Amino acid sequence: MKKIGLIVLGLTSQIIFAQANRFIYQVTMKTDSTNRSEIKTENAYLDVTPEKSIFYGEKRLQRDSLFTRMRQTNGGSFDRTQMQNLRSHIDFTIEKDFKTGKNTYHSRIARDQYSYDEDRTMEWKILPETAEIGDYKTQKAQTNFAGRTWFAWFTTDVPFQDGPYKFSGLPGLIVKVEDSKGDYSFDLKETKKIGALTNLSQGGNIVKVKRKDYEKQEALFRKDPASFMQTSMRGGSGISAPQSRGGSMRTPDPAQRKQMEDRMKEEMKKNNNPIELK
């Protein structure tokens, strides 16, 4: 593993011949607009080949690994305490197909897996400002996307026109990108070679929808997560009768259900500053 401030010489040739490359970003987030002093930090991975890339949270990979170990050793039973420690604000994956230009977003709402193809393009304005970030020579660019103004620093030292989250389309790898309000930031910290793109488990059927329909479902969930889950379990989502994770439906006892509902309401109350505002 290489730190960003260390060896960059020869990275380009290494990337070209490697099976896949992992760029590790530190993601900082202010998810509660009423408490801007609270900053959440997580790592996220951008795994890239010449054909495609996938962006996802580090905790997602750790959860998948934990699920696998528990299935093998505990007969399918799960330690809820361990799972709670792996809860993440990067609970989505984004796949980019460089040949088709398709950018696919995957996420879960309540019990159900959804995906949509991003239908908005990023129009970048490359600015004259340059900066050294670690050992990378970078140039600044600006775009307006999903209700925010974003500033990115990209390097042509790395031959991938890609970046974290949905960001791509600049003539090189995005080393850093942040919004103008300072709510969200993605900073490249490490790079490493890996054998192949990670195969993340989806945990059930995926409902393919249009972006606007996904946003409507997400808005309903944020407004009243408990009622949304009850409707979802009855198959009344309005899009498709959803499938539970793992294919079976288990109803928690009243005490567990009340605890879950209270936790979801509190989370929705604090997560009022999403990365996409519109």
What digits encode the pLDDT tens for the residues 183-223?
A: 999 999 999 999 988 887 666 688 999 999 999 999 988 88
Rounded to 10 degrees, what is the CA torsion of 195, 196, 202, 203? Answer: -30
> pLDDT-derived band of residue 231, with 50, 70 and 90 as boundaries?
low
Angstrom distance (rounded) from CA 107 to CA 113: 6
Could you tell me if 76 and 70 are in contact, meaning their C-beta atoms sit under 8 angstroms apart?
A: yes
What digits encode the pLDDT tens for the residues 95-128?
A: 999 999 999 999 988 888 999 999 999 999 999 9
Angstrom distance (rounded) from CA 268 to CA 274: 11
What digits encode the pLDDT tens for the residues 249-278?
A: 455 567 776 776 777 777 777 889 999 999
- β-bridge mates for residue 107, sequence order: 92, 114
Task: Output the pLDDT for position 112.
Answer: 87
Task: Output the pLDDT for position 121.
Answer: 93
Q: Where are the beta strands (DSSP E) in the chain?
A: 2-3, 20-29, 40-48, 52-57, 92-97, 103-109, 112-117, 125-133, 136-145, 148-155, 173-179, 184-194, 206-208
Number of folded domains in the chain?
1
Task: Output the pLDDT for position 85.
Answer: 64
| pLDDT > 80? residue 74 | no
* DSSP symbols for 48-95: E-SSEEEEEEHHHHHHHHHHHHHHHHHTT---HHHHHHT--S--EEEE
Task: Output the pLDDT for position 51.
Answer: 94
Q: In the chain, what is the straight-line distance between the N-terminal and C-terminal CA atoms, in Å?
A: 37
Task: Output the pLDDT for position 198.
Answer: 82
Token pair 């900082």 is at which residue? 28
pTM for the model stands at: 0.81
| pLDDT > 50? residue 242 | no
Q: Which residues constitute the domain of residue 259? A: 1-278
For residue 264, the Cα-to-chain-centroid distance in whole angstroms is 20
* Least-confidence region, from 50-54, 170-174, 260-264: 260-264
Q: Which residue has the higher pLDDT, 50 or 9?
A: 50
